[in-house]
Amino acid sequence: MQKLETAIRTIPDFPKPGVQFKDITPLLADGYLFRQAIDAFATRHADSGIDKVVGIEARGFVFASAVAYALGTGTCLVRKPGKLPHAVHRQTYDLEYGTDAVEIHTDAFEPGQKILIIDDVLATGGTVAATVELIQNNFDANIVELDFLIELAFLNGREKLEGSLIHALITY
Ligand code: AMP
């Protein structure tokens, strides 16, 4: 996936000092590379029997919806608080300073469904760990894998995700 890597730029000190932000917009803007990324996820899960692809707000939506289309499954939005219109389940999680939360509609899945979760970047793992908890605590669903365009391995996000299968197209 070296080609994909060339279309990701690092923006220093965004959105705050010390963060090396991975800007994926050049990759999204390139039709060939965007398709490469989506095909990589979709090919990997062609025989996984996935029922729903979950996208995490906001860039996760871009990948999850395209992969769902490729697999012919539904997609489902995990959002920050107050954005989903119907009844929700909520999971809070700790940030460096304070807490945040993710929400999902209470009717997101049928019992026994197989779920693929996708986000753009695995950093500290807090957001996706909360998403896994949100789903496991509220649904009888089977999370097949957690997939990312990028894993920032030096932040050790995997430590928060023990017991989950994880796959990233690009690792830093
Ligand atoms: P985390 O909970 O730390 O794994 O980070 C979760 C979310 O923050 C991911 O969905 C990313 O969209 C975003 N994020 C965190 N760190 C970065 C980074 N260095 N570059 C781009 N996005 C990031």
Q: Tens digit of pLDDT for each residue in 99-112?
A: 999 999 999 999 99
- DSSP structure class, residue 32: H
What's the pTM value of the predicted model, to 2 decimals?
0.97
Catalytic residues: 59, 96
Which H/E stretch holds residue 90? strand 88-94
Ligand 1 pocket residues where CB is under 6 Å: 19-22, 56, 59, 119-127, 152, 157
Question: What is the per-residue pLDDT across 10-24, written as a single tens digit (0 to 9) for each?
Answer: 999 999 999 999 999
Question: What domains are there in the chain, each with its CATH number?
Answer: 47-171 (3.40.50.2020)
Q: Residue 111 C-alpha to ligand 1 middle, in angstroms?
A: 30
Q: Which residues contact 165 (CB under 8 A, 6 or more apart)?
A: 144, 145, 146
Closest residue to atom 9 of ligand 1, CA basis: 121
Q: Which atom of ligand 1 is nearest to the CA of 127?
A: 2
Task: Tell me which amino acid residue 81 is.
Answer: P
Where does the pLDDT of residue 97 fall: very low under 50, low under 70, confident under 90, or very high at 90 and above? confident
Peptide bond before 58: cis, by omega within 30 degrees of 0?
yes
Number of H helices and E strands in the chain, helices first, is: 5, 9
> Which pLDDT belongs to residue 2?
64
> Which pLDDT belongs to residue 105?
98
Distance separating alpha carbons of residues 30 and 99, to the nearest angstrom: 35
Mean pLDDT lowest among 63-72, 89-98, 126-135: 89-98
Q: Residue 32 C-alpha to ligand 1 middle, in angstroms?
A: 24
pLDDT over 90 at 6, yes or no: yes
Mean pLDDT of the chain: 97
Q: Which residues contact 93 (CB under 8 A, 6 or more apart)?
A: 99, 100, 101, 102, 126, 127, 129, 130, 133
Q: Residue 164 C-alpha to ligand 1 middle, in angstroms?
A: 18
Closest residue to atom 3 of ligand 1, CA basis: 124
Question: What is the per-residue pLDDT across 150-172, written as a single tens digit (0 to 9) for each?
Answer: 999 999 999 999 999 999 999 99
> Which pLDDT belongs to residue 41?
98
Question: What is the per-residue pLDDT across 35-78, written as a single tens digit (0 to 9) for each?
Answer: 999 999 999 999 999 999 999 999 999 999 999 999 999 999 99
Mean pLDDT of 122-142: 98
Q: Residue 80, SS3?
A: coil
